[in-house]
Amino acid sequence: MTLIFSVISIYAAWYGSSEVKEQQRKITLLQDAVAVNMNILSLGLQQHDSTAWEYDPLYKTVFYNRPDGIAALAFGQRDLHTFAIEISEGTYYYNKYATGYSNKTLSGEITNPQQQLAGHLDLSFVIVFLLPLYFILLSYNILSAEKEEGTLPLLAVQAVSIRTIFFAKLFVRWLIIVMPAVLLLLTAAVIAGAMTDARIFLFIAATMLYSVVWAGVVALVASLRKPSGFNALSLISIWLAFGMLLPAAFNAFLSAKYPAVNKIALAAAVQKANAEVFAIPRTAVADSFYKIHPEYNNLPGDTLPGGWYNPRWIRAAHAVLDNKVQRVETPYHQVLEDRIRTAGKLNYCSPALLTQSILTGIAASDSKQIYVFDTATWHYFKTWNSYLDDRIFFKNNRFTKADFDNLPVSTFKPVIDYRQVVFSLLVLLATGLVLLTLSFTRLASGNFLEKK
């Protein structure tokens, strides 16, 4: 059994690691492609300053949420969301919700839907779902088997109490579960190249405390002094409730109360805004644009025949488009924030969900981080375009080599909420201790051989 558990764990570690490496590889590929553009620009700008129409499609950078090694242990929802995006002149929302002609998100990053349905096997899955199952298999009959096999009477007349014997056996089984799990976590850290990452100790702490909770559950069921069959059925039911039924019920509740972003509606809004903005006269685009950016009003060149020259018009149209769509998307953001907050509270109802949230939280793979990355992407996009707007499109300045060298740089660094992680770990510890204390008290009273 330990061997099977170990093989699954090693496979999960390898799988998570390969997913991380694949995302890292794609980010590097995109960075390399962008670097080629930027080298051309750099060389060109050494010769002479540029104008808007000369180089603007080449001004690009990459904004990415690069998974580090520890993410291999808890991959979370990283494969379901954009992890790298090209930032360049253009429209943010067109490329986010409709097929873009520039600023494309990484091709091939969207996971196979079949795979999405099945989910991924990473080490956090093994810890949250398989480890308790293994614990149940090892310990469901610690006490009941003694009674059923007839050894209880001889144990009951010894100086050591049955309760002490029970907890000693439970502790040994806890060690049998936890020690290989810790070794497997360390092995996985080596496989994932995260051996020097101190967060591995938080992973170990979460695993140990989660096992304490399950030890408490096993002890509480044993304290009912029922036959082995009853114990097994009860524990499997609890495992199903914590690991599957409650998450499914919570998900259904959250989906009903906080509907996910309707990407079809947003894609339609983008298409509509795109059609509108390019159908209206350029002066109307200018009016809308100046409402958003009054600082650019009355620029030289606006009086040229036909209104703005093409690059300025297109840039303004993109900005107007993004502004329109942002108003449609904003309510969804509020819904998403509410959903994440409510989901965080519901996690406390199930040790499995809480442990999963701890592990993905430590690895920065949770939905909160993905939302934060999404928001950070939008801010960087605005910063990048504002820089170009100031120097190329709306102030008629020449873009110099110095401007190039000072292009805004932003690197996404997930902010891990360690206070939340520690609090959740303490909740796990408290839950385990309450369950163990309760069962300790229950096992003290009455007699194990008393006829009912």
Partner 1 sequence: MKTLQAVNLSKQYNGTIAVNNLNLQLEKGEIFCLLGQNGAGKTTTINLFLGFTEASSGKSLINGVEVLPGKSDTKKFIAYIPEVVQLYGNMNGIENLDFFSRLAGFKYSDEMLGGYLSRAGLQKEAHYKRLSAYSKGMRQKVGIAIALAKNADVILMDEPTSGLDPKATAEFTEICKGLAAEGKTIFMATHDIFNAVNVGTRIGIMKQGVLVHTISTTDITAGELQQLYLETI
The residues of the shown chain that bind partner 1, judged by CB under 8 A, are 149-151, 153-161, 165, 444-447, 449-451
Measured CA to CA, the distance from residue 350 to residue 123 in angstroms comes to 19
Record the tokens describing residue 187, joined without a space: 């092995």
Residue whose CB is less far from partner 1, 149 or 295: 149
Q: How far is the CB of 445 from partner 1 (least distance, A)?
A: 7
Instruction: Give the other-Cβ count within 10 Å of 425's Cβ.
Output: 20
Record the tokens describing residue 86, joined without a space: 């090209």
Which residues are within 8 A (CB) of 102 and not within 5 positions of it... i.e. 6 or more apart? Answer: 57, 86, 88, 89, 90, 95
**Nearest residue to 318 (alpha-carbon basis) of 383, 264, 270:** 270
Residue whose CB is less far from partner 1, 148 or 338: 148
Residue whose CB is less far from partner 1, 262 or 441: 441
Q: How far is the CB of 167 from partner 1 (least distance, A)?
A: 14
Record the tokens describing residue 230, joined without a space: 């009853």
Q: How far is the CB of 193 from partner 1 (least distance, A)?
A: 43
Residue whose CB is less far from partner 1, 118 or 154: 154
Residue whose CB is less far from partner 1, 167 or 239: 167
Residue whose CB is less far from partner 1, 149 or 338: 149
320 neighbors 326 (Cβ within 8 angstroms): no
336 neighbors 261 (Cβ within 8 angstroms): yes
Which residues are within 8 A (CB) of 308 and not within 5 positions of it... i.e. 6 or more apart? Answer: 282, 286, 301, 302, 316
Residue whose CB is less far from partner 1, 1 or 157: 157
What is the torsional sign of CA 256, 257, 261, 267? positive
Which residues are within 8 A (CB) of 381 and not within 5 positions of it... i.e. 6 or more apart? Answer: 63, 87, 92
Q: How far is the CB of 4 from partner 1 (least distance, A)?
A: 21
Q: How far is the CB of 226 from partner 1 (least distance, A)?
A: 18
Q: 49 phi and psi, to 5 degrees?
A: -65, 160
Q: How far is the CB of 449 from partner 1 (least distance, A)?
A: 4
Q: How far is the CB of 64 from partner 1 (least distance, A)?
A: 56
